[in-house]
Amino acid sequence: MKEITAIVRPEKLEPLKEALFKAKVSGMTISQVNGCGNQHGWKEYYRGSEVLLNMVPKVEFVLVVKDEDVQSLVDLICETASTGKVGDGKVFVKPVEEVVRIRTKETGEDAI
């Protein structure tokens, strides 16, 4: 099993969520997050003073999936979330050692 974490633009929340549901993803966690990467934020003026805003709002998707589904889901995320501009986000893939469904105590792939 693998955990896929995707950090994407806020406007990609609904299109990506719908694409993942169509791909039969059984569940996901979605969070509103802030961060910065290569774009390093932007400058704004507040009461005549320049303010550097270096935390950009993003949306984080976290999925735990079977190993054989990882590449197709990463491809789907990249296709759906891409605008071709700096700040589109990143996808991280990490191994998952164990999953336990609390209600039934099922483990492993049966729990996802």
Return d(Cα 27, Cα 112) in angstroms, integer.
Answer: 8
Evaluate if residue 47 carries a pLDDT over 90: no
Mean pLDDT, rounded, for 77-101: 96
Q: Domain limits at 15?
A: 2-111
- Residue 42: which CATH number? 3.30.70.120
Return d(Cα 20, Cα 73) in angstroms, integer.
Answer: 8
Q: For the chain, what is the domain count?
A: 1
Strands of the sheet containing 89-95, edge to edge, are 29-35, 56-65, 2-8, 89-95
SS3 state at 94: strand
Report pTM: 0.85
Mean pLDDT, rounded, for 15-33: 96
